[in-house]
Amino acid sequence: MKTTRRNALRGVVSAALSWAYCDGWPNVKAGPVSNTGWLRSVKIGLHQAGWAPRPWQELFAAARKLGYDGVELAPPWLEEKHDLTGVYRLLVESGTALAPACFVGGQEMRDPAAKEAYLSKARKYARWMKAHGGKYVIYSTVSGAGARRTEQERKTIAEAFSRIADVVLRQGCTPLYHNHYVKNPHESRNLLREDLQILDWARWRLCVDTGHLVLALTDPVAFMGDWAEKVSWMHCKDVTTADAAELQRSSVAWQDRFTPLGTGVIDFPKVLEPLARTDFPGWLVVEQDKSSNPYETSKTSLAYLRRVLGEQ
């Protein structure tokens, strides 16, 4: 009886949050997350996104100077123009740590002919991550070739996720699913819902991206209330608006919706509170996909996140 009542109450809360989302969120932020032992173990990382085409030394130097615990890299994109060994050497020489997760992506998973290519890629970067003290390999939402995924694409992608989990786990790492905006807000929301159903949660974990949740018309607070126990990593982004009609304006690029943490609509204290009640083992990674001044954006976001965590 207690379980039934708890689930019923949870449904009421979730429905209320969904209604609040559709009606627009009040721009009110709660106070710091409760000061528990969890806070002392949380690490804050800085993502490479938004720093190109600047020299990578600038990113590494900024992370060290500002006090980030480490830097998250996306090796497939780095290797398009750089030697990965050389980039890692620069990271070490700067005195900056490598965050124990790397972003891989995965759009090729919808192509059955790319099976060997994406499995080789998964093996390569899981090995690289493990060799450098890491433990997570991140894959993002994969869209269909057309406006929507076909049934065949859905099946192909589900099989690809399963194969990738086999390969990554065999290398001693854990695969993480990263929710990502694709094409438009409604399609992004639909794909997220599909993926949450097709993934094997006995083998996969979540890398939640707060900004991309908003772009997919999904309330981060409600989402975390439902999925916190599966979260092992978080990309922290804030967004300028949560208005569904505004988010669908084609004249504004989705990257332009992001804003430094604490200056948008996301209530990070409430988003992070569920993690304080779980054994969250991962990092909170500040990621700004596009910024005219990434150093100042990173500085502002770190200061805000530390306030939320009660460190200031």
Dump pLDDT digits (tens) for 107-149: 899 999 999 999 999 999 999 999 999 999 999 999 999 889 9
pLDDT digits (tens, 9 = 90+) for 53-64: 899 999 999 999
Pair 62, 298: CB distance under 8 Å: yes
Q: Work out the number of other CB atoms within 10 angstroms of the CB of residue 117.
A: 12
Which residue ranges form the domains of the chain, and what is each CATH number?
Answer: 2-308 (3.20.20.150)
- CA count, 13 A, side-chain hemisphere, 215: 26
* Mean pLDDT on 256-283: 92
| Residues ≥6 apart with Cβ < 8 Å to 93 | none
In 134-168, which positions are buried (b, 16+ CB within 10 angstroms) versus exposed (e)? bbbbbbbbbbbeeeebeeebbebbbebbeebbebb
pLDDT band (50, 70, 90) for residue 20: very low
The predicted pLDDT at position 85 comes to 95
Can you read off the two tokens belonging to residue 10?
């949870």
Lowest mean pLDDT among 37-51, 84-98, 191-205: 37-51
What pTM was computed for the model? Answer: 0.89
The predicted pLDDT at position 28 comes to 45
Lowest mean pLDDT among 45-49, 91-95, 163-167, 251-255: 251-255
